[in-house]
Amino acid sequence: MALDPHIDAYLRRLSSAAAPLDLQAQRAATEAGLRALQGPLEPVAAIETHTVPGHGGHPLRVRAYTPHGAAPGAVLPALVYAHGGGWFQCSLELYDNPCRALANATGCKVLSVDYRLAPESKFPIPLEDVYAALTWVAAHAGMLGIDPARIAIGGDSAGGNLAAAAAIMARDRGGPPIAHQLLCYPVVDHAFSTASYQAYGQNFFLTEAVMRYCWFTYLVNERDGASPYASPLRAELAGLPPATLLICEYDPLRDEGLAYAERLRQAGVAARDEVLPGMVHACIHMLGLTPDARRLFDLAGAALREAFGLPAD
């Protein structure tokens, strides 16, 4: 379908804005710009922040969101979530409203991971942090009020990359067990050669130039891009948990996401992909911009509720 008209108007305004000149200014501008698109806060039953040991014992925050309407003391399925931001920007605070919406849509307790950012912490440290948080959640399921047999891993954009890689890492390291993957427009390959990069690599929110910069901040060197933990599309995928991939129509990452879903299926993994019509990268933040951004949450909710045997929202 055509590009969503609300997003089209927003992109026209955005194209006239001056770009920040340094890393900290870029981080601040992204934080403010995306927050302005999110719309009103969604109510949830509870929010708790835990400090957990990350890679090498570094303390990490993990923020737990209990969905609105959850019965007191109920044991819930969980979604361990890695936020997007190209590995070098965005925060636990920016993802407050998206995680609220995910908790309500999925019926899961969402555990948002404040992994360390590049370039201060390069590959594989952000991934190791997400894996450490996943391991901590599984080990403390009783304290958290979650079912250890119903833990999903998820993320969007670079967070989708970290989620997919953490699932591969959990398989390779013998656990913890993961019941499902929720990958929202993930980065899965250190390459820029797909047709969707050619079609949407400029003027559709995420550009090829920005994506190249994201990889530059994350990797120690170009050779790291060939690692299956950096580029899950290049990994052996047999034995991974079932996956749902939500992919934006007007996104340079569209084709690699579709390719990843297909490679999962070829490896015998139950994988479903859904293209979000009219959407651009980062639409998880756009509930305040266009009502059609709600479809991401509707599909995420349907997928995890089905995976975990929960009633439809």
Which residues are designated catalytic?
157, 251, 281
Kindly list the distances between the CA atom of residue 59 and the CA atoms of 18, 129, 280, in Å, as whole numbers in the listed order. Answer: 36, 9, 34
- Calculate the CA 263 to chain-centre distance: 19
Instruction: State which H helix or E strand residue 253 sits in.
Output: none
Nearest to 305 by CA among 155, 74, 107, 172: 107
Residue type, 166: A
**Helices first, then strands: H and E counts in the chain:** 10, 8
Side-chain half-sphere CA neighbours of 77 within 13 A: 26
Contacts of 87 by beta carbon, 8 Å cutoff, 6+ apart: 117, 118, 123, 126, 158, 161, 162, 214, 217, 218
